Structure 1
């Protein structure tokens, strides 16, 4: 029997591993957490104190303006176009060669000035021909008149047939018609020679020449010879909403002048001042507007044809009207409203009705009273009953005290 001792068996219970790495990581975690807490306290402490301060006060800073009374000009601003009162395409009324051009492009001309000359020689030749034919027919008429007078004496003496005397009378009448036709031909050729001299029909400024000297032009050809535009005076045509026609039409019927200012397309600079002239005869059903013309002297040619302008027309002035800043008006489900600051520094939502307005002020017809304060800035977080503070009033109140100190 083998009595060799067996090797000792491994213990079933494992030897617990060392905890030094785990303790090291735990220490690092604790140190990082402590650092994060310190940083959070350092950065958030001022904000927290500020938040606690606001939470304590609860006042919303706002800017206010008192409702006041004043005059509000009723001005209608509409987009308009500069349109010449007279714009003429100078045409030739006859055919022929353009012999002379007597104007310079861009020149100001007067009514009756000679602008161009067409070759008159073909028409002068025809005039001479028709004048010769007229002279011939006049001679025949005179001879027929002499014979007719003789026949009329003979028929009274029963020395000639009545038919012969009557035929002679008809011949005289026929030759009188021929002479009239010849005279018309002569007058027509004289008119053609007159048309060879192209004159300015109105005062104005000529544009760029469309035909050069030496070209053969025809009557009524496309683009004509040049465009002549009346610059002084000139008009601006703009559209007027149908709801505003009544007051404007009344002023025009009364003969009261309506002043119109023309501003540039950016609506920044005033260009010229004129007066309203006339309303169009009907409303455009597609836009609900009516066209209106205003006349401007344009002595310095500030306005140029086809230029886009903003027409501002002063219709009337509302006197002693309640005025609030336009930026105080807010839009809600029930229409426009304002925030009114009450005596206890809380705000009240007040629905209002408005009238005419300009860029800064608006007429209020109902909802507020004179002297009440309305919020003009800082309305984003306001609601009915919120307590507000007015930094401007606080600063002005504390300024004298600081001065005394």
Structure 2
């Protein structure tokens, strides 16, 4: 039997081996492309990390980190509460007439400042003067009738003692006298009413303040039912601000008020940068708003320069207390992390260590440290993100910033709005050294 492979089978085997070889070549090509793509992605990632990750600022030989330090000081810290308030006048009065009549005179100018009792307007008083004269004439007539009745009563009393007249006639005369006495009393009341109406014809200011725009002109007939009135007077000096505080702050405020302290209040502009006026807390509302959990407070301001205007929106700072002789550092020195609140303390050998601290209130970029620091300690306020415990540091600059001094209450001494507490001051990174 012939052992040779048939030609058709040989061709089939050859085709299968060629297809297998081509498939292996394609797999190797695919692997090479994938390896190249992974290598390119890794190179791009490494380049991104090198360009975006900040390199610690060290000297060419891996020396100390450049930082800015500040020295802890002993000073005072104001314990203040911030709130939003609305300027509210102590008295806003709409001037209306109490009688009807023609308005014959306007005695004020719009925007004028008037004092209590100043004349504002006049109403035609002639009808009421005539009514006064009529009431006075009725009084004279009724007084004459009363006098005549009294004389007759005296005669009847003498005759009655001698039983010359009936007792009924005497009683009738006595009743007539009482009737005329009542008529005279009514006449006197009519006279007083007419005089009061004449007084109402001269409308005067019930409070001191500034008048607004007049609502009616001369010549109009005015009545007590006019809803707009004649003009509105608003008291501007003194003036108050109503603001709200959370109920959690109420115990501290009430405690200070019960001790007899006068709590100073400062009003700032809408943006909080311009101080408008200084005053004192007057009172606290008698209940808490359950919908917001806040309580209303009223502060009074002299407003001699009229910087506060009714319905004006202001920012309010209430001085609750003053912490005296506490350790004070810039707020930028305080770090927060796993140990809680801490600072980087610079030692005598220019190395830093982590020092946990217990902080208190802050004011104007400063913060009180209750425990953990002493006066004279140096702490890092810029460059702390590059530090580790035990790292060497070199000082770019050193700040000694005392705590803000507090003046006597009730009026704070500051004349400009306190700036918000600053964070670490960004400094441009030094150029990298070319040495590796």
Instruction: Identify the TM-score tier after normalising by the shorter chain.
Output: 0.7 to 0.9
In structure 1, stretches of 5+ residues that fail to align are: 1-39, 395-405
Compared CA separation, residues 157 and 75, structure 1 to 2 (3 A) = same
Which stretches in structure 2 are left out of the alignment for 5+ residues?
Answer: 1-43, 399-436
Residues in 1 aligned to 2:200 and 2:311: alpha-carbon distance in whole angstroms = 31
Per-residue deviation at 1:368? 4.2
Q: What residue is the counterpart of 1:74 in the other structure?
A: 79
- 2:16 maps to none
Bigger radius of gyration, 1 or 2?
A: 1
Q: Aligned partners of 2:221 and 2:356: how far apart in 1?
A: 75
Q: Distance in 2 between matches of 1:218 and 1:302?
A: 36
Q: Are 1:130 and 2:147 matched, yes or no?
A: no
**CA distance in structure 2 between the aligned counterparts of 1:344 and 1:203, rounded to whole angstroms:** 70
The question of whether the paired residues in 1 share the 8 Å contact of 2:66 and 2:396 is answered with no
- The answer to which of 337-346 and 365-374 deviates more is 337-346
Q: Which residue of structure 1 aligns with residue 239 of structure 2?
A: 234
* Residues 98, 117 of structure 1: 8 Å contact kept: yes
Contact preservation (8 Å) 1:204, 1:231: yes
1:335 & 1:116 partners in 2: Cα distance? Answer: 70
Q: Scaled by the length of structure 2, what TM-score is found?
A: 0.69
Residue 346 (structure 1) shift? 6.4
- Count how many residue pairs are aligned between Structure 1 and Structure 2: 349
Match of 1:296 in 2: 301
Choose from 321, 327, 338 the match for 2:326. 321
Partner SS for 1:324:
strand
Match in the other structure for 1:141 = 146
Q: Say whether the 8 Å CA contact 1:58–1:387 is kept in structure 2.
A: no
Aligned match of 1:185 in 170, 187, 190? 190
For residues 125-178 of structure 1, give each alpha carbon's deviation from its aligned partner in whole angstroms, at most 9, with x where no partner exists.
333333333333222222222222221111111111112211211121122122
Residue 392 in 1 paired to residue 383 in 2? Answer: no
Q: CA deviation at 1:114?
A: 0.9
Instruction: Please list the CA deviations of residues 252-274 of structure 1 after superposition, one character each: whole Å capped at 9, or x if unmatched.
Output: 44544433333222222222233
Between the aligned partners of 1:114 and 1:51, the Cα distance in structure 2 is 79
Partner of 2:228: helix, strand, or coil? Answer: coil
Structure 1 position 291, deviation (Å): 2.8
Contact in 2 for aligned 1:260/1:274 (Cα 8 Å): yes
Secondary structure, counterpart of 2:270 in structure 1 = coil
SS for the counterpart of 2:151 is helix
User: Does the CA contact (< 8 Å) of 1:62 and 1:388 recur in 2?
Assistant: no
Quote how far apart the aligned CAs of 1:117 are. Answer: 0.6
Find out whether 1:83 has 2:123 as its counterpart: no
RMSD: 3.4
SS in 2 for 1:180: helix
Secondary structure (helix, strand or coil) at the match of 1:164 reads helix
Of 244, 266, 278, the residue aligned with 2:283 is 278
Tell me if the contact between 2:56 and 2:386 (Cα under 8 Å) persists in the aligned partners. Answer: no
